[in-house]
Every structure is written in C-alpha cells, then in structure tokens.
Structure 1
Amino acid sequence: MNRIVWLDVLKLIAIFMVICVHCSDPFNVSPEARSNPDYNFWGSLYGSALRSCVPLFVMITGVLLLPVKQSMKDFYKKRLLRIASPFVIWSVLYNLFPWFTGVLGLSNSLIPKVFAYAPSDASQTFGNAISNIVLIPIKFSTYTVPMWYLYMLIGLYLYMPIFSSWIKGANVREKRFFLLLWAVTLFLPYVSSFYTPDMLGMCAWNSFGTFYYFAGFSGYLLLGHFLFKEVKVWEWGKTLLLTLPMFAVGYLVTYVGFKNMTAIPNCTEQELELFFLYCSPNVALMAVALFLIVRKLKIQSPKAIAALGNIAKCGLGIYVLHYFIVGFGYAIVDSLAVPVSIRIPVTATITFLICWSVIALCYKVLPQYAKWVFG
C-alpha cells in the first residue's frame, strides 16, 4: 500500500492526544485534584476531548491491515515480533524504576510524581520490582499503565487473521450488520451501571451476554476499514455538517457525564471511568468525526510529508517512552509557572518533542538496535 499521508496526520493527532491523556492524569486521578475546582474543570474539559485517541489508533490499524494479505504465520511473525521486544523491555524498565529511585537514595514520594497511578507509599524494594516483572505475561502494574494498550493490541493481532477471513467474503450489508450489533454493545456499560448488570443472559455465573461476541475493539478495526473502503470522501460542506454535530454530542455527553461522576462523594474507579470508556457511543462519535475530517486533509509540502512519515515511524517508540517523560514535563511547567488552563497541552507538547527527538535520533544513529527497543 502506498503511503497515505492523511493517516500519518491522524497518527500524529492520536499520539499527541494519548500524551495529553496522561498529562491530564494529575488533574483527574486523585480525589485531592478532583476536589480542586480549577483542576476539576480543566481536567474534565481536556480529558473529555481526548478519549478518542485509542479508538483512532485501532481504526488506523483496521485501515492499514484489513483484510490481512499474509498467511497467519507470516502475519504473526511480522506483527507480534515488532511489538514483543519493546513491550517486554519497557515493561521491565517501568517496573524497575521505583527500585532505581531507592538505589539512588531518592524518596519514594518522587514515584507518584512520575507515575500518576502509583501509591503514595510505593515500594522501592527489588523484590517488589521482580514480583511485578514476573507477572508481566499476565497483568500490568501501577507503574506500567500505558502497557494496557499493548496487551489489547496483541489480542487484536491474534484475532485479525481470523476476522480477516470473514471480511474478505463479507459484502457491504454484512459489514454494516456487524457494526450495528457492535454499536448496540457500546451502550451496555451504561445499561449495566444505571439499570442492571444482569441483562441479556449475564448473571453471577455468566459474563458472556447476547452481544458479547460483537463487542470490544474489533468493532473499531472494522469501522476504520469500512469508512476507508466503503464510504466515499464527501465534500467539505457535507463532512462538516455531519461531523461537527457528531463530535459536539459525543463531547458533551462525555464531559457532562464525567463531571457528574467526579461530583459523587467517594467515587469509585469504575464510576470515574464510565463516561471515559473507549468502547462507548459518545467516544465512538468523536472518533468517527475526527477520522472523517482528517481524511479530507491534503498535505502538499514534501518537508511536512517527510516529518509526518518520521513521526509515524517513531509512533510506537514515542508511546512506550512518553510515560517516563510526562513527570519531567510537569516539572518544567511548574518551574515556569504555566497557568493551569494550558498546563496539559504545554506539558504534552514538551513531552512529545522530547520523545520524538530521542526516538528519531536513535533510529538515525543506531537503527539496528532501535527497532528492537522502540518497535
């Protein structure tokens, strides 16, 4: 497939958004931050606009890889090996970080400043680090939060050759039918939370309800493929007429819902994340809107095209590295007394530029090693 420049633009947007998400964690994660009116407002405002980052990544994957044109063995060899090494290396490094701080004689109070989800009394022992490392094949820890995406991506890669066999033989109507059933599943978390968790056959002894087999990120895979292959590119007028209301509705539901959840005393983690779920109708609306807008963009500058291609190449490396750099970015904006209103995008910009510079340099100087470390 020839390089699709607008997809590189979409990758840049998704990469920057996911960095912004983790830069907004200090605004949204702790009850203390949420009780601060300024932090609550700006964390909710930015955080609600960023939720489509992961769906966009998956939709891009659907555009580029569906239907799979290789044998299952060759596909697994190419795709799984590309992410296996960075996944293991960075999972180990993240889990060793608390121990490193102890070796250097630093207080464990530093750790939550680097990793927003880390406990305030984080252990600095080597034994705790090793325990987390041993569990890498099964689970991520509070120090490896971004790695959840790679666990999910590995699952999608395992599934894609099988899913692809159906896609090759499916017509447009059949693909729409799948997407319709998938769209139904996007509402189920709200039904479960506000009505009953025991629906469509789900109960204490069964978690697999009627639409379970159509749920999850596989819908975004097909959605990206479908929009690219089966939906023609509209004129700007029609595009904006449809996408701007879609994004506005999705954003409004996300923002209002999240704000209401943060207003609940002793809000649980599940309640806090309910309107931020990636597989939800509001987030899907924002993802589709951005996808359809960005595919209209035309980039002519050779320098811009080259830069976008380089960012796309460095994308996985930027992703696995950025969580280490976010805390450093916040230290910079704190020292500069950046206003709370722009602290999230400024921190994200600093983090992105540092990560891109480091990864691009590594690929230029040590390309044979960089691909194993950064994918």
Structure 2
Amino acid sequence: MNSPLSSQRPHIVWLDVLRFVAIFMVIMSHSADPFNASPESRANPDFNLWGSAFGSFVRACVPLFVMMTGLLLLPVKQEAGPFYKKRILRVLYPFLVWSVLFNLAPWFIQWVGGTPQLVTTFFPFGGEPSASLTDGLKAVAMIPLNFNMFACPMWYIYLLIGLYLYMPIFSAWVEKASDKSKRLFLGLWVITLLLPYGTQFISPYLFGACSWNAYGTFYSFAGFNGYLLLGHYLGKGNDWSWGKTLLITIPMFAVGYLITFKGFRAMSSDPNVTDARLELFWTYCSINTMLMTTAVFLLIQKVRVTSDKLSDLLAQVAKCSFGMYLCHYFFIGPAYLLTVVLHTPVALQIPFTAVLVLLASWGLVSMIYKLPKAKYIVG
C-alpha cells in the first residue's frame, strides 16, 4: 500500500475496503456541494432534502482516514526527523501541485472562454471568481498559510501535516499507556465532542475560554488526535460476532445520522443561517459524527474478502486513494452537469455524480502512476 496514509506493515485487506468506503464518502460529500453551497440551492426543497440526506450520511469520511492513520502509524517506530521527512514530504509535493492547479483554475477557465457561472458550477463554494491571473498568483502565494474555497479539499492536507508533526510526540505516551489510560483519554475526548453545540447554544466561552484565552479545560484533549487514538485502540480488532456487531453498530450509526441529518436540515432551511451554524451538525469533531465513524469502522473491520480478484482491485483503489482525494474536486462540476443533461432524477443526482467522479479520478490517478516520479504528483 503506497498511499501516504499507509505503512509498510503486512497487507490488511479490510483496510482496503475501509479506504474505498472512505474515499467514496469524500467524493459523495463533495458531490452534494451543488445542493448545499448557496442560499438559492438551499431554498429548493428537493435540493435541501437530498443534499442534507446524502451529505449527512457520509460525514464519517475524513475521520475514517484519520483513524486509519492512527491504526497504521501509532506507535511511531522512527525518530521524529526521519518520520517527518518520509511522511510530510510524501504529502507536501502533491499537495503543492494540486493546490496551484485549483487556485489557477478560475482564471484559466475564463481565459479559455468559460463564464463566471461555469466556474461557480465547478466550484460551488468558491464565491465570485476572478478572471485575473494576478489574483490567481496571489492565491498561489497564500498556499503556505491557508487554502481558499477554490481549493476546498486541500484543508485536509494542512490537518494531515499537523497530525504528522504531532504523532511522534503523542506516540511516546501511546506506546507506554495502558488500555485503561487510553480509554480515559478517549472519554475526555468525547466530552470535547459536545463543545461545538455548547459554544453555539449555551455560551461562546466555556470552561475558562474567553476573549483572551481560547484554551479551555478540555483543549488538550480536543480535535482529531482523538480519532488517531481511537483508530489505534479499535484497530486491534474484536471478537464480536456479526450479530453483536450489527446490534451495536446499526443503532450507533442511526442515532448519529439522525442528529446530523435533522440538525443540518434545520440549519440549511434557514435562509439567514451563518456559516458557523450551517456547518455545526456536520462538524467532524462532534458526538454525532464520532458515532457514525465508529460504527462504520467496527462494521468494515468484520469484512473478509475471499476473492483474489476483488482483493487486488481494492488494493489498486487503496494505492490511488490519496491521489483521488487530491484531484477529484475537478470532476464534481462536469459530472453534476452531466446528470442534469441526462435528466437524472434529483434523488439520484448526488450518488450518480459520485460514481462518475470516482471512476474519473481513479482513471486519472492510474494513468499518472504510469509516469516517472508519479509520487510527486499523486503521492
């Protein structure tokens, strides 16, 4: 497995299944962007319903990738320097390539004759696109500091690099900690998953946070590091039967999904909703998303693949998954337009778009891998 999210450990087939599920979830979440990205689309009852339904269903996508990272890389077996060189550089070069392409895309589309409306269709969250090359180059210059919404998926790479920076330090504790201590950490982390709702509905400042201090009581336990540890902890496997696994995971996912769907639908139905409120129930580090993520992880962990051909196919997708993540957003707009041209029913437009984007991005990355030095482009 050559993805930056994998390691040289023995091949684990169910992780290939999980990686396929996770990358398809990522693609489907962005395939819902035309349904969720503007007040006009949110005002359409059908768009609001199906954008909320599918977008909420796949919120586990990013946390699943973080859990896989924790499973495969914790505890870290290298010194910090070699670990950073191997992991961060493998991610950094492709990230820069695709970030530049995304940031210059609005200018290029209009330079070749496309309209601003076409750019907006391709990048629903991008806002008013500039036709100026100078503005595009300014956006490129900002890449070391942050992404913009034309390069929307790139936010995860900043997070991933941050997790890599943190892992050798966190790993020293993980390696020595007992299971009881890990459960204590995870319990405190679960408390932090309620804070997004507390800060919105109770007070913007909780547990000592205030205008001059953003670091409240539970700050050190908050964030995606909890998913790292959860992946490491649950990755040992369990001896549950399929019946027990389903009995636990189906209600867990259903409760998480119900909170996510109902909450997002309520927020997106308000034409005056703020960005913070709109995304509230889709927050990755929230109790509802954690429930769905844990359920999917435990369920896929029980999957066994007996077909060699299917196993090989899953391994190929796993190898391409990081590159697919980097490039897939370019295909969202064209695939969505195709579903409209084909008069696809609204209820099926998001999954149909997702399948088209999955195939297109997988095909592109597979071709790039045939080139020399492909790792600098797709990881």
TMscore range, shorter length: over 0.9
Say whether the 8 Å CA contact 1:102–1:125 is kept in structure 2. no
What residue number does 2:188 align with?
181
Instruction: State the 1:233 CA deviation.
Output: 3.1
> Is structure 2 residue 375 aligned with structure 1 residue 371?
yes
Say whether the 8 Å CA contact 1:325–1:351 is kept in structure 2. yes
CA distance in 1, matches of 2:239, 2:229: 18
One of 205, 211, 232 as aligned partner of 1:225: 232
Q: How does 1:19-168 map to 2 (within 5 A)?
A: 19-119=27-127, 121-168=128-175
CA offsets, 1:140-179, max 9 Å, x none? 1121010000000000000001100110110001000100
Q: How does 1:308-319 map to 2 (within 5 A)?
A: 308-319=314-325
TM-score, structure 1 normalization:
0.97
The 3-state SS of whatever aligns with 1:200 is coil
Unaligned runs of 5+ in 2: 1-8
One of 320, 325, 328 as aligned partner of 2:334: 328
Instruction: State the 1:263 CA deviation.
Output: 2.5
What residue number does 1:338 align with?
344
CA pair 136-36 structure 1, distance change in 2 beyond 3 A: same
* Structure 2 letter corresponding to 1:268: T
Say whether the 8 Å CA contact 1:254–1:276 is kept in structure 2. yes
Instruction: State the 1:101 CA deviation.
Output: 1.8
Paired residues, number: 371
Instruction: State the 1:136 CA deviation.
Output: 0.4
> Is structure 2 residue 253 aligned with structure 1 residue 276?
no
Say whether the 8 Å CA contact 1:233–1:296 is kept in structure 2. no
Instruction: State the 1:115 CA deviation.
Output: 0.6
Instruction: State the 1:335 CA deviation.
Output: 1.5
* Structure 2 letter corresponding to 1:245: P
Unaligned runs of 5+ in 1: none
CA distance in 2, matches of 1:5, 1:217: 25
CA distance in 1, matches of 2:202, 2:106: 42
* Structure 1 letter corresponding to 2:334: F
CA offsets, 1:329-353, max 9 Å, x none? 1121112111100110100000000
CA distance in 2, matches of 1:277, 1:233: 31
What residue number does 2:5 align with?
none
TM-score, structure 2 normalization:
0.96
One of 190, 206, 212 as aligned partner of 2:213: 206
**How much identity, in percent, do the aligned residues show?**
51
Say whether the 8 Å CA contact 1:244–1:289 is kept in structure 2. yes
One of 247, 257, 274 as aligned partner of 1:241: 247
CA distance in 1, matches of 2:133, 2:271: 37
Runs of 4+ in 1 over 6 A off after TM superposition: none
